[in-house]
Chain A
Amino acid sequence: DVKVTQSSRYLVKRTGEKVFLECVQDMDHENMFWYRQDPGLGLRLIYFSYDVKMKEKGDIPEGYSVSREKKERFSLILESASTNQTSMYLCASSSFHRDRTSLYGYTFGSGTRLTVV
């Protein structure tokens, strides 16, 4: 069973802390994405990556950075956590090639519920 694994389901961090959210996929997918989900705002793209050591800004990159040192791992970094970064964070991966299970779509992880206090 193919998987996208996010290291933590729930996290509570203090304002100003540096926070690392880890994501690993075992499908040899080229593309990886970080989204956040907030009520009424849907899924908003933070950063994405099409290859190792490559990254591109999404729609809301401010306050975040990413790292992709290996194909299977994509990390989201909150340099100095703030209360407005309290959210559900979702990692996803996809292939450039037609995938029989999701047809160019994404496979998502289970999400990390981050609370910044």
Chain B
Amino acid sequence: DQQVKQNSPSLSVQEGRISILNCDYTNSMFDYFLWYKKYPAEGPTFLISISSIKDKNEDGRFTVFLNKSAKHLSLHIVPSQPGDSAVYFCAGRGGATNKLIFGTGTLLAVQP
């Protein structure tokens, strides 16, 4: 039972353009959603999060949008930079248990 799905295994964009990474979920009990970024041979690092009561959160070049009715969230990176090339994981937090359920990840390649 895949509670968090990232249907695009990879994405390639040009430097300076917008990157849009998508994530779908099935568990209505998630109270927070988080995005992590992972470089090869390193652990994931926290990028941005959004509460389930919000529909948008912005931090510099990164914006996360949440559509609860569609059970869909997306991460927008504008403008994209070569250093953004990494695997991006979305995750849902299962309420009071503090356990995160991760998606399968999307490999973003930003071409110079």
Interface residues of A toward B: which range?
Answer: 20 to 34
Q: Is A114 an interface residue (CB 8 A)?
A: no
Interface residues of B toward A: which range?
Answer: 20 to 34
> Could you tell me which residues of chain A, from 101 to 116, have a CB within 8 Å of some CB in chain B?
101-111, 113
Task: With both chains docked as a complex, state the minimum distance between the C-beta of A49 and any C-beta of chain B, in angstroms.
Answer: 11
> Could you tell me which residues of chain B, from 92 to 112, have a CB within 8 Å of some CB in chain A?
93, 98-100, 102-105
- Let me know if B105 and A106 touch, CB within 8 A: no
Q: Mark A85-117, 1 if CB is under 8 A from B, else 0.
A: 000001010111000011111111111010000
List 27 A–B pairs whose Cβ atoms lie within 8 Å, in order of A's numbering.
A9-B41, A33-B99, A41-B104, A42-B6, A42-B103, A42-B105, A44-B102, A90-B43, A95-B98, A103-B32, A103-B34, A103-B46, A104-B32, A104-B34, A104-B49, A104-B98, A105-B36, A105-B49, A106-B44, A106-B46, A106-B100, A108-B43, A108-B45, A110-B41, A110-B42, A110-B43, A111-B43
- Could you list which residues of chain B lie within 8 angstroms of chain A, going by C-beta atoms? 6, 9, 32, 34, 36, 41-46, 49, 89, 91, 93, 98-100, 102-105
- CA–CA, A102 to B93, complex, Å? 12
- Let me know if A43 and B43 touch, CB within 8 A: no
Task: With both chains docked as a complex, state the minimum distance between the C-beta of A56 and any C-beta of chain B, in angstroms.
Answer: 9
Query: CB-CB < 8 A to B9: which residues of A?
Result: 40
Q: Is A34 an interface residue (CB 8 A)?
A: no
- Could you list which residues of chain A lie within 8 angstroms of chain B, going by C-beta atoms? 4, 9, 31, 33, 35, 40-45, 48, 50, 90, 92, 94-96, 101-111, 113
